[in-house]
Structure formats: C-alpha cells, structure tokens
Amino acid sequence: MTAEPSVLSPPVSEDGTAFERQLAAFRHRLDDHLSAFLTAKQRATGEATGEATRLVDAIGDLALAGGKRLRPALVFHAYLACGGRDETRVDPLALATELLHTYLLIHDDIMDHAQLRRGRPAAHVQFARQHRAAGFRGDSADFGRTMAILAGDLAASYSSELFVTATSGTANQGTLEASYSAMCQEVIHGQYLEILVSYLAKPSPEELERVLRLKSGRYSVERPIELGALLAGADAATLATLSRYGAALGEAFQLQDDLLGLFGEAATVGKPVGGDLAEGKFTFLIHHALAGATPAERQVLDEVRGHRNASPEALSLAVGVIEASGARQAVRDMISERLEVARDSLAELALQDEGATFLEGLIAYSEEREE
C-alpha cells in the first residue's frame, strides 16, 4: 500500500517533450549511481559476511528493475530550480530517497501479500523460492518474509548513510535532517492509517484525506522537493509555495494510481489490476461508489473488497459497479482540482530554467497519464 506510483517507466523517444528527455536522462544518471553504490556494498558485504550478499541482491533486484524515479528526480530538479549547482552534493541525496522507497516497497509487499512488484516476483517471494531450491528446513513463506524484512531494513540503512553523506557540513544541516526525518515518519504514519481504514466499514472523507496527504502528498512529491530546495538554500517563501505545489501534485498522483489500479492494464501497472480492491484498500473510488450504491451493489463490492481469493469475474463485476456509480469521474475531478492548485502555485515562483522546466512538465505529464 505504499505510495509508489506503481506504473512502470514508459520508454521515451528522442523527440519526446523536454520533460520526458529530462526524466529519461535523470533515470540513466541515477541508475548509474545506484548500480555503482550497490556494487560497492555487495563487495564490502561479501568480504565481511559472505552469505548476507543475498540481501544486497534483493535490494538491487527491485531498485534496478525500473520505476519512474520520481522522488529522486524531484530532489535533483528542485535543487537546480532553486539555484543549486553542485550536482555531486545532490546526487547522494536523490539516491537516498530512492533507497528509502525501496525499503518501503519491500515491506509493503509483505503487508499486502503481493506476489509481484514492477512486473517481477516480490522480494519475499524470491527469498521463499531460494528456501525451497536450497532444501532448507522450516516454512519457506516464513523464511521469505523474514529475509525480505531484513533486506528492507538494510535499504533503509543505506538511505540514511547517503543522506548523511549529502548533508554533512551544510549550513542548514539541522533543517535538512528534520525534513528527512519527517518524510520517513509521515509515510509510516500514513501506512498505518491506510491499513486502519481498510478495516473500517466506512471511513470518513477526512480519514481518507489524511492518508492521501501523509502517504502521497508529502512523501511522493512535497518532501522530495523540499529536500532539494533546502539543499540549494531556498528561502522560506519559496519553500512554502513549493510545498503547496508538491502536496497537490502528490495527491493527484496517488488518485491517478488508484484509477490505474482498477481501470489500467496489468502490463502497464506492473501488478494485477484489481489487487488493491482484493487487498481491502479503501480509496476515494470506493467511498464515492458506496455513497450511492444500492444494497445489491454494496454486496457486489463487499464480496471482493478484502478477499484476496476473489475470482477475476467477481473483480470485474465490482469494477463495473464502481464505474457505473460515477466514482471514476468524481476522482478525475479531484485530480483536476489538485493539478490546478499545483499549476497556480508554480506560476508564483521564479525558478531556474532546467528545474523549472521539469516541475512545469511534471504537471503536463500528470494530466496525460492514461488509465
């Protein structure tokens, strides 16, 4: 349930938009740094503990398997937008946010009982397969979950290490530490709330807004932008306006992912469509669908929500009920409102060219994402 957006990275042609070219170039840049970092960790771990290299393998299998790299890209381009010029300083900070995300995804897949992530077996599934292949004693599923938890913990420690590397000795190191700590804690608080509301019969809109704000608005966009801007030395007024932009855009991204999770294509999303519904995730789509549902329609939804073994036919029927209720359009309207806030906020700022182009392009990209 962690707010990744889960959509796999689309290929970018040479004649794509400026934003697409920037994002593609940044992905290559980050992947090079990530590969080099994990190779060094693999070597050091092998020399120190031997078999524990499998934990590094699990991190690399997920971290290097794709993804939009949105959070680190926002760190990097917010830094440039606010006048930062030392790319060797911002690179480890961007990488720290990617490995923080890797940790959260590994743990998230355990909590969600997910089998796939980015179109590949989830970390705990891969460890369970290793257990069976090696003929180890005991329960393979338990082994898989345990080892995946450790891999996630290790990724979190790498994130912290990189954060220290990036921010040590900066004039506002304490402020950067507070922002990074808040980012780490808010997404966990949001995860707790998201799981909690999934067990409620009918969460309130206010409860759903809190989940959206903590897990997505702040974690996905607002805090990464804040980190990059702080590293560049942005003033308080710029930080406040960027915060408004980031919160609105992050929430829009998560709402779009909720749509993709029900109405997208599995090959694009990178995990089974309808999986969030079967896991019991309560989103604004469910909220709007239930608001005007008949008793029979409620029963259709109840028969699949939180039932991991729901049949494809039952899931398809439930998705049809949600579509017919107008929930899909209601969420689209919520997305449009947030993108307008992001656009208005960005218009207030005078940012440096390359970073400004990226932040402007991200709004346009958000408008064009397909279900």
Domains of the chain from N-terminus onward: 18-368 (1.10.600.10)
pLDDT at 4: 46
Which parts of the chain sit beneath pLDDT 50? 1-14
pLDDT at 370: 56
Q: What does pTM read for this prediction?
A: 0.90
The total number of residues written for the chain in this structure: 371
Alpha-carbon distance of 265 to 49, in angstroms, equals 42
